[in-house]
């Protein structure tokens, strides 16, 4: 069963004014770990997720995108302690082509990742659970491929996706100076445990 995968990052005594530097560092780290160097879009949310955005901007894909520092500056010009700042950036993983028949090929497919920086009062202090910065990786399928026969090629591509995830997780933690991190899923299941079970069944 597919699950949504998140990474939460926390910083000690983080001042709201320092959030821009932290978010910029996280976004910049993507380029060296399978991600795009430019931001696709940004959205500023007031008070809670149930409210309408106060600002949205779509920069575009690839070269049309915005440099992380510029996108963050655009968003955090509206600096409020009860706002959340969401950025979308491309990240490519190995996936089996649509159709998944016996002739399907493995290709690197880009997906949009959401990186959100939280003001301390947004959604009644959601940062305490979600992190000062939360990365939404989307469905965890590429790290498990539970609907695919795990032959040597599939296992190699899944392993590369997992390695890329681990390396990115370490890179954003180091680049942004996070003192705590948590990789978690919407259903509360451990990716590491599910991966171990997946590999164990097929070995």
Calculate the CA 178 to chain-centre distance.
Answer: 15
- Residue 124 vs residues 49, 130, 156: alpha-carbon distances, Å: 11, 12, 43
pLDDT at 119 over 80: yes
Instruction: Give the rounded percent of residues in the chain with a pLDDT score beyond 70.
Output: 92
pTM, two decimals, is 0.91
Q: What angle do CA 184, 173, 110 make, to 5 degrees?
A: 65
pLDDT at 203: 44
pLDDT at 163 over 60: yes
Q: Residue ranges of the domains in the chain? A: 4-201
pLDDT at 98: 67
pLDDT at 60 over 90: yes
């Amino acid at each position: 069963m597919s699950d949504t995968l998140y990474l939460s990052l926390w910083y000690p005594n983080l001042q709201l004014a320092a959030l821009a530097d932290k978010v910029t560092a996280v976004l910049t780290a993507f380029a060296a770990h399978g991600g795009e160097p430019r931001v696709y879009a940004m959205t500023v949310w007031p008070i809670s997720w149930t409210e309408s955005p106060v600002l949205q901007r779509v920069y575009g894909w690839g070269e049309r995108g915005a440099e992380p520092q510029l996108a963050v500056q655009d968003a955090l010009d509206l600096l409020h302690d009860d706002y959340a700042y969401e950025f979308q950036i491309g990240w490519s993983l190995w996936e089996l082509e649509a159709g998944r028949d016996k002739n399907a090929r493995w290709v690197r497919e880009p997906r949009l990742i959401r990186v959100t920086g939280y003001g301390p009062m947004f959604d009644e202090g959601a940062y305490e659970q979600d992190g000062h910065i939360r990365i939404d990786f989307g469905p965890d399928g590429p790290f498990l491929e539970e609907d695919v026969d795990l032959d040597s090629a599939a296992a190699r591509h899944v392993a590369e996706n997992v390695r890329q995830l681990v390396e990115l997780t370490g890179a954003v933690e180091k680049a942004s100076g996070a003192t705590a991190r948590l990789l978690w899923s919407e259903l509360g299941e451990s990716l590491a445990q599910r991966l171990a079970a997946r590999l164990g069944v097929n070995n």
